Amino acid sequence: MPRTAVVALGGNAITRQGQAGTAAEQEENADRLAAGVADLRAAGWRVVVVHGNGPQVGNLAIQQQEAAERVPALPLATLVAMTEGALGSLIDLALLRADPDVGVVSVVTHVVVDGADPAFSNPTKPVGPFMTLDEATHVADELGWTVGEDAGRGYRRLVPSPAPQKIVELAAISGLVEQGAVVVAAGGGGVPVLAEGASYRPVDAVIDKDLAAQRLAAALHADALVLVTDISRVQLDFGTDTAREVAEMTVEEARGHQADGQFPEGSMGPKIRAAIGFLEEGGTVAVVTDAGRVRASLELGPSNGSGTRIVPATRIGAVS
């Protein structure tokens, strides 16, 4: 039976730090990410792609505000849907350039959240471009946005980030995967919605894409969760003289490092939480690495050519 991997691509991998986010830059970055997905598919894996949208949805929010005197600004939930469609198209085309024979489809995905989630009263999810303190203070005063520092890299807008509860389009996604399609789903974490009887209502928030990928991977009974970022391996004591890479961690080791404050919420924290959650729900392996090491991380185990693997209590080696 084919193995299934859910691969989560960061929005910061599509618009990299220091880039303006032009169409040409995003296309070049998407091609690099698509090559890793194509390599994994060539090894016999079924692949579901989840992407982030933090920089893109924040930029779109700025465009909406700047044009508000001419065109009414749209709510954040709508901007999430807009970026889900736009980035889905970008990734679809990149995957087709990497493998013209691939069957690929993007699914605009809605994800149920809890209206009582404390995240709605404590915005923590960074979106949009990095700003200086002066710039952040200005937009906070002018637009009423909540702003805060993002992992020491600068200041960004902060929005609510409730926990994902359920994937609304799960049956459709599962059916497409069974047919062998590469499915791009839950983009930007999906459009957050509240369940109201038999229907749903969108709500302004941005779901963390790693946690949405975890929820989707668990629901699909995937074998692997791959969290693609811009580093090859997780580091302990990151940014210090004692920084060291980690090839493999058990769930218990990962939980201990997390409790020690090794993985800040603004950077590695959600990825490690997603990995732990996926394994606790029956997953085989979770990987944190860059696009070029995805296949090696799953096929070769904790070798020099792979990323960081998080595994159950018993170390398992390569996924079979």
Instruction: For residue 277, give the nearest of 255, 294, 262, 299 by alpha carbon.
Output: 255
Residue 207's pLDDT band, with cuts at 50, 70 and 90, is: very high
**Exposed/middle/buried for 261, CB within 10 Å: 0-12, 13-18, 19+?**
exposed
**266 or 226, which is more confident?**
226
Residue 152 covered by a domain: no
Backbone φ and ψ for 132, nearest 5 degrees, come out as: -75, 170
The predicted structure's pLDDT at residue 101 = 92
Report, as an integer, the average pLDDT of 185-202: 96
Question: Which CATH number fits the domain that encloses residue 96?
Answer: 3.40.1160.10
Give the distance between the most distant pair of CA atoms in the chain: 60
Is 41's pLDDT higher than 60?
yes
Identify the pLDDT of residue 303.
Answer: 64
d(Cα 94, Cα 27) in Å, to the nearest integer?
7
Alpha-carbon torsion (109, 114, 120, 125), positive or negative: negative
If you average pLDDT over residues 163-168, what whole number do you get?
97
Specify the pLDDT at position 7. Answer: 97
**Would you say residue 146 lies in a domain?**
no
Owner of token pair 């969760």: 225
pLDDT at 152 exceeding the cut of 90 = no
Which residue would you say has higher pLDDT here, 162 or 1? Answer: 162
Work out the mean pLDDT of the chain and round it to a whole number: 91
Return the percentage of the chain with pLDDT > 70, whole number: 96
Would you give the distance in Å from CA 308 to the centre of its chain? 17
Question: Distance between CA 128 and CA 187 in Å, rounded?
Answer: 16
pLDDT band of residue 256 (cuts 50, 70, 90) is very high
| Total domain count, the chain | 1
pLDDT score, position 150: 85
Say which of 54, 125, 266, 283 is annotated catalytic: 125
pLDDT for res 302: 64
> Which one from 10, 12, 53, 188 is the annotated catalytic residue?
12
Q: Is residue 118 part of a domain?
A: no
Q: Tell me if 107 sits within 8 A of 185, measured CB to CB.
A: yes
Task: Answer yes or no: 12 catalytic.
Answer: yes
Strands 235-236 and 244-245: antiparallel
Confidence class for position 60, pLDDT limits 50, 70, 90: very high
What is the pLDDT at residue 130? 83
Domain that holds residue 243: 4-55+77-110+167-196+204-311
User: What pLDDT score does 47 carry?
Assistant: 97
Tell me whether residue 186 is in a domain: yes
Q: What is the pTM of this model?
A: 0.89
Q: Running DSSP on this structure, what letter comes out for residue 254?
A: H
Give me the catalytic one of 54, 187, 209, 307: 209
Residue 304: what pLDDT?
Answer: 63
Across 16-20, average pLDDT: 81
Would 18 be classed as within a structural domain?
yes
Residue 116 placed within a domain: no
Query: What average pLDDT does this structure show over 14-18?
Result: 81
Q: How far is 255 from 269, CA to CA, in rounded Å?
A: 11
Q: What are the angstrom distances between the C-alpha of 138 and each of 45, 76, 124, 141, 294?
A: 48, 20, 19, 5, 41
Residue 319 lies in a domain: no
Q: Is 71 part of a structural domain of the chain?
A: no
Instruction: Give alpha helix (H) positions in the chain.
Output: 11-14, 23-42, 54-66, 76-98, 133-143, 170-178, 209-219, 251-259, 269-280, 294-299
Which SS3 state, helix, strand or coil, does residue 198 take?
coil
Place of tokens 């890299």: 153
The one catalytic residue among 187, 188, 266, 271: 271
Q: Is 271 a catalytic residue?
A: yes
Helix (H) or strand (E) holding 267: none
Lowest mean pLDDT among 52-61, 183-192, 233-242, 283-292: 52-61
Residues 6+ apart with CB under 8 A from 40: 5, 7, 47, 226, 294, 295, 298
Q: Are 41 and 167 in contact (CB under 8 A)?
A: no
**Across 13-22, 70-79, 80-89, least confident range:** 13-22
Q: Taking each helix axis as running N to C, give the angle between helix 209-219 and helix 170-178, from 0 to 180 degrees, rounded to the nearest 10.
A: 70
Catalytic residue among 10, 11, 52, 190, which?
11
Q: Which residues contact 292 (CB under 8 A, 6 or more apart)?
A: 35, 36, 232
Of 39-43, 141-145, 248-252, minimum mean pLDDT range: 141-145
Mean pLDDT of 102-128: 93
> Has residue 316 got a pLDDT over 70?
no
pLDDT tens digits, 262-314:
998 767 999 999 999 999 999 999 999 988 889 988 887 666 678 999 999 76
